[in-house]
């Protein structure tokens, strides 16, 4: 499942390439609480079809009513004078929702919420195609729209930046898909890969062990057979990538993790208990000339502490931590597995048990 922004832009291009009228809506400003963050986009076709989101649904309904042939009035709204029910030509326009308490309630905005959108009418199909192709090639792009004319310029950038909205230009940065490389094709990997796909990640799984690959059941995932450290090198890990080792086998995990630590990956981690994590660090320091400082980015035990004992729950905890790191959200120390378990056990190691999903591998 591809990144939502890419899906919106790809779908919008398809409509425009077929000659259909369409608009692109971008959230440019919010006050108080709001359902979607600044920079969120949605596209609306003249048929009433919508992809993407700028709210919980009520604002989308209003835009459909205003700008498409599917012009049933939103619930609780009287017919509006001057509404033509078609997507016009012309330069971008601004529209605000939730200015009054009554309007905020009608559009399902939280108390005090106000949302401002910029609407671009009938974006150029060739420019949209160039943007989608650039994203498919793994490059980050800033799309700059002249607010007076609607003219679009694409600029290559190397890092995300906040949305720009001034009197002249609307500039929104789009990146390629986030990628997740998982080492090991076991049961936990299946759950984690599924969650990552639904979260918009492109997922690759690497496992040289045929007995594990033979049972793999998740579609939409690239399954590789090479040695993990070689795969990490060939993966071209960047700042929109994460690498997670899930085999418990040092011969497979350790070298791959060391390769990943030498990249710009936003998240590098490995499954295992506190004891296993300490042993991993000790091995890497003794045999691979690492230091505590060089291993500081290596996460383990991974996940946030939710008392998990089963593969699907452990996958939930790992995915939650990955998303928090991706979104730049600091996790409280009491949610970190190591600190939470130490608090519960008074710093003592948890009792050992069977190999699979016991306290040595679960939370």
CATH code (residue 203): 3.40.50.720
Q: Residue 363 domain-assigned? A: no
Distance set, CA 255 to CA 150, 224, 268, 289, 359 (Å): 50, 17, 12, 12, 25
Average pLDDT value for residue range 46-55 = 92
| Whole-number pLDDT of residue 358 | 33
- Residues 184 and 245: beta-carbon distance below 8 Å: yes
Alpha helices (H) in 239-304, listed in sequence order: 250-261, 274-287
pLDDT digit string, tens, across residues 218-244? 998 999 999 999 999 999 998 889 999
Q: Residue 358 domain-assigned? A: no
Q: Residue 158 domain-assigned? A: yes
Q: Are residues 137 and 242 in the same domain?
A: no
The two tokens of residue 180 are 């997740």
Q: Residue 350 domain-assigned? A: no
For residue 69, pLDDT over 60 is answered with: yes
Q: Are residues 139 and 40 in the same domain?
A: yes
User: Confidence class of residue 308 from pLDDT cuts 50, 70 and 90?
Assistant: confident
Q: Are residues 189 and 333 in the same domain?
A: yes
Lowest mean pLDDT among 32-46, 89-103, 290-304: 89-103
Q: Residue 279 domain-assigned? A: yes
The total number of structural domains in the chain stands at 2
User: Confidence class of residue 32 from pLDDT cuts 50, 70 and 90?
Assistant: low
For residue 267, pLDDT over 60 is answered with: yes
Average pLDDT value for residue range 31-53 = 86
Q: Are residues 64 and 202 in the same domain?
A: no
Segment holding 270, helix H or strand E: strand 267-270
Segment holding 31, helix H or strand E: strand 22-31
Q: Is the pTM of this model over 0.85?
A: no
For residue 74, pLDDT over 70 is answered with: no
Q: Residue 52 domain-assigned? A: yes
Q: Are residues 318 and 248 in the same domain?
A: yes
**Residue 83 to residue 86: CA distance in whole angstroms:** 8
**Residue 321 to residue 64: CA distance in whole angstroms:** 37
Question: Which residues, in sequence order, are CB contacts of 15 under 8 Å at separation 6+?
Answer: 22, 43, 45, 49
**Domain boundary residue among 144, 174, 204?**
174
Closest CA to 357 of 305, 316, 311: 311
Q: Are residues 194 and 170 in the same domain?
A: no
Helix, strand, coil shares of the chain as percentages rounded to 5? 35, 20, 45
Q: Are residues 17 and 162 in the same domain?
A: yes
Closest CA to 54 of 66, 65, 43: 43
For residue 35, pLDDT over 80 is answered with: no
User: Confidence class of residue 351 from pLDDT cuts 50, 70 and 90?
Assistant: very low
Average pLDDT value for residue range 20-38 = 85
More confident residue, 38 or 182: 182
**Residue 65 to residue 201: CA distance in whole angstroms:** 33
Alpha helices (H) in 114-176, listed in sequence order: 125-136
Closest CA to 271 of 180, 330, 359: 359
User: Confidence class of residue 70 from pLDDT cuts 50, 70 and 90?
Assistant: confident
Tallying the residues shown for the chain, one arrives at: 363
| Whole-number pLDDT of residue 350 | 45
pLDDT digit string, tens, across residues 88-121? 999 999 998 875 556 555 555 555 567 899 999 9
Q: Are residues 246 and 286 in the same domain?
A: yes
**Residue 315 to residue 305: CA distance in whole angstroms:** 12
Q: Residue 251 domain-assigned? A: yes
User: Confidence class of residue 78 from pLDDT cuts 50, 70 and 90?
Assistant: low
Q: Are residues 187 and 152 in the same domain?
A: no
Lowest mean pLDDT among 239-243, 264-268, 326-330: 326-330
Closest CA to 190 of 169, 164, 216, 155: 216
More confident residue, 13 or 343: 13
Q: Are residues 82 and 217 in the same domain?
A: no
For residue 80, pLDDT over 80 is answered with: no
| DSSP character at residue 18 | T
Q: Are residues 192 and 302 in the same domain?
A: yes
| Whole-number pLDDT of residue 115 | 86
Sheet holding 93-97, edge to edge: 50-52, 41-45, 22-31, 114-121, 93-97
Q: Are residues 292 and 160 in the same domain?
A: no
Share of the chain above pLDDT 90, in %: 60
Average pLDDT value for residue range 5-29 = 96
Q: Residue 96 domain-assigned? A: yes
Structural domain of 106: 4-174
More confident residue, 103 or 285: 285
Closest CA to 55 of 102, 93, 108: 108
């Amino acid at each position: 499942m591809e990144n939502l922004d890419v899906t919106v832009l790809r779908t919008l291009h398809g409509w425009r390439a077929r000659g259909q009228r369409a608009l692109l809506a971008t959230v440019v400003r919010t006050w108080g609480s709001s359902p979607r963050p600044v920079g969120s986009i949605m596209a609306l076709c003249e048929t009433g079809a919508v992809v993407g989101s700028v709210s919980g649904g009520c604002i989308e309904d209003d835009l459909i009513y205003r700008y498409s042939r599917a012009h049933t009035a939103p619930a609780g709204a009287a017919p509006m004078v001057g509404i033509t029910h078609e997507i016009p030509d012309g330069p971008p326009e601004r529209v605000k929702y939730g200015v009054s308490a009554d309007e905020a309630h009608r559009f399902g905005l939280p108390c005090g919420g106000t949302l401002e959108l910029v609407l671009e009418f009938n974006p150029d199909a060739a420019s949209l195609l160039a943007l989608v192709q650039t994203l498919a090639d793994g490059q980050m792009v800033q799309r700059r729209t002249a607010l007076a004319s609607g003219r679009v310029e694409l600029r290559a950038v190397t890092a995300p930046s906040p949305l720009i909205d001034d009197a002249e230009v609307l500039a929104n940065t789009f990146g390629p898909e986030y990628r997740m490389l998982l080492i090991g094709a076991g049961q936990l990997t299946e759950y984690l890969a599924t969650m990552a796909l639904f979260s918009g990640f492109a997922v690759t799984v690497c496992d040289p062990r045929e007995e594990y690959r033979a049972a793999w059941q998740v579609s939409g995932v690239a399954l590789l057979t090479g040695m993990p450290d070689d795969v990490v090198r060939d993966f071209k890990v960047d700042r929109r990538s994460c690498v997670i080792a899930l085999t418990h086998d040092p011969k497979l995990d350790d070298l791959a993790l060391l390769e990943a630590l030498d990249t710009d990956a936003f998240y590098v981690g490995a499954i295992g208990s506190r004891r296993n994590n300490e042993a991993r660090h000790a091995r890497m320091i003794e045999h691979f000339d690492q230091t505590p400082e060089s291993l500081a980015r290596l996460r383990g035990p991974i996940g946030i502490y939710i008392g998990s004992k089963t593969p699907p729950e452990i996958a939930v905890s790992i995915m939650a931590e990955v998303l928090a790191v991706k979104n730049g959200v600091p996790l409280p120390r009491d949610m970190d597995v190591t600190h939470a378990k130490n608090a519960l056990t008074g710093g003592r190691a948890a009792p050992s048990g069977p190999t699979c999903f016991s306290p040595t591998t679960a939370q």
